[in-house]
Amino acid sequence: MYLIGIDSSTTATKSLIIDGDGEIVAVGAAEYPFETPHPLWSEQHPDLWWDGTVQSMRAALAQSGIDPAEVGAVGVSGQMHGLVLLDEEGEPLRPAILWNDQRTGKQCDDMRLWLGKENLVRITGNDALAGFTAPKILWVKENEPEIYSRVRQILLPKDFVRYKLTGDFATDKAGAGGTSLLELATRDWSPTVLAALEIPPQFLPPTHEGTQVTGVISAEAAEATGLRAGTPVVGGGGDQSVQAVGVGAIEEGIVALTLGTSGVVFATANEPFYEPEGRLHAFPHALPGKWHLMGVMLSAAGSLRWHRDTLAPGVEFDDLVAPAEEVPIGSEGLLFLPYLTGERTPHPDPFARGAFVGLTVRHGLPHMTRAVLEGVAFGLRDSFALMQGVGLGEIRQVRVSGGGARSRLWRQILADVMGSELVTVNTTEGGAYGAALLAGVGAGVWPDGESACAATIRVTGSTTPNADATAAYDSFYELYQGLYPALQATFDGVRQHGE
């Protein structure tokens, strides 16, 4: 039996095929753009995800040479929080408003006013944030009433792909947690929040666990993709929750750290924890009976890319980072604040800005490079500190993935700053791989997610912290923590000049 995972991100859709032992058989991918029609806006037409699914699926099936009848199930993953509005014919009414869209500040304030911030966090596990789905719905309702009047179904991006695959409306509980409409404890839509926001419950699809079958491949989808009609489609989840399954971070004490353009710290919990001020995201896990806390840094490896492209264009990343190994811990008093695209955790501020602090004539490019690596590590440590502050317990191991994790120096800095062992694993395909594992559980290949991960995921490398380095970084982290409060008024002052 073969299993398929589909991951629809902001820039590409990937279709991955694995066998019953978890070995990757084939991977197909299709890229597409997104639009920024106004400052702070980010939109994408849903048809791009479906076209990407068709192209990547056909490429993967052709590459593998397998008989589609041997595919036991398909799992779905993708970008979170985006708003897809469908009319009564099931057609998109407008381009989707994406997770990184920042237009909804007023609507977030309205949600806090109508529900009370403390009550909102208690119910949903999260504060109202511009990236989430609910304030986007309110924005359309207020600014595009003629479109809103025609809405009959609200979906998340991956669930539009699911709809095109099956003809059924459905979502997973992990992805639904990122809408600000789901009750964290019950793992289902919140009647209180829906009533306060005047969103009709019938606009929302049924919620399912990530291992449950939500429908089967329709005849139309089979013709388009090459899959067999009747193949089960499993719940899957939002990209970060499924990514955690894909690296085996599915138990308390094992944390997933994704060091991509953005940085994500993901911690599994056996009960619905939340951070009282809403500075961490708290969602249901893709696995039944589990929840997770998540901290998000908007510019992680993206900070290093900006640094390279701006100050050393054309230089390979390895060549850029190598001289930074000779720079002492703390970059000789140079600190970097990595808020180049605003920030989410621990400061939900879309207008926060980046900064080098402490520059002198002694500092050169290697110092600045190391300061970027250290600043991102400090920013990620903020999430670790918040998680431990809500009683999540000991962090025994950090499973690191993403492009930034290829740097040996960066892995060592992260281990030293966190004071925790960092490990790499044999799986590198993230969300698509996790979606395939969830599909395997839904198809009965494994009895549960824990068994699936145990059978397929292995630790391949380890970076241990140096006690002396950890102690040294503690003092620099304290200085780093003072930067945002000290500069916040300045960020507000320069904001009008940067928009």
Q: Work out the burial of residue 105: count CB atoms within 10 Å of its CB; fewer than 13 is exposed, 13-18 middle, 19 or more buried.
A: middle
β-pairing verdict for 397-401 and 422-425? parallel
d(CA 473, CA 98): 36
Residue with tokens 């308390």: 252
- The residue from 239, 318, 448, 474 that is catalytic is 239
- Find, among 294, 169, 185, 296, the residue nearest to 241 by Cα: 294
The residues, any chain, with a CB within 8 Å of residue 404's CB and separated by 6 or more, are 259, 260, 263, 300, 301, 304, 376, 410
The type of residue at 33 is P
User: Any catalytic annotation for residue 7?
Assistant: no
Instruction: Please report the beta strands in 123-275, taking only residues with DSSP state E, as ranges in sequence order.
Output: 153-155, 171-172, 182-183, 188-189, 207-208, 213-216, 232-238, 254-259, 263-269
Name the helix (H) or strand (E) containing 240: helix 239-247
In this structure, the number of other CB atoms found within 10 A of the CB of residue 200 comes to 10
First to last CA, the chain: 53
- Find, among 150, 387, 390, 47, the residue nearest to 249 by Cα: 387
Residue with tokens 């990407």: 52
d(CA 91, CA 93): 6
| Phi, psi dihedral angles at 346 (to 5 degrees) | -95, 0
DSSP 364: -
Asked if 22 contacts 455 with a C-beta cutoff of 8 angstroms, the reply is yes
d(CA 459, CA 474): 28
Question: Is the dihedral angle over the CA atoms 328, 332, 335, 336 positive or is it negative?
Answer: negative
Residue positions annotated with a catalytic role: 239
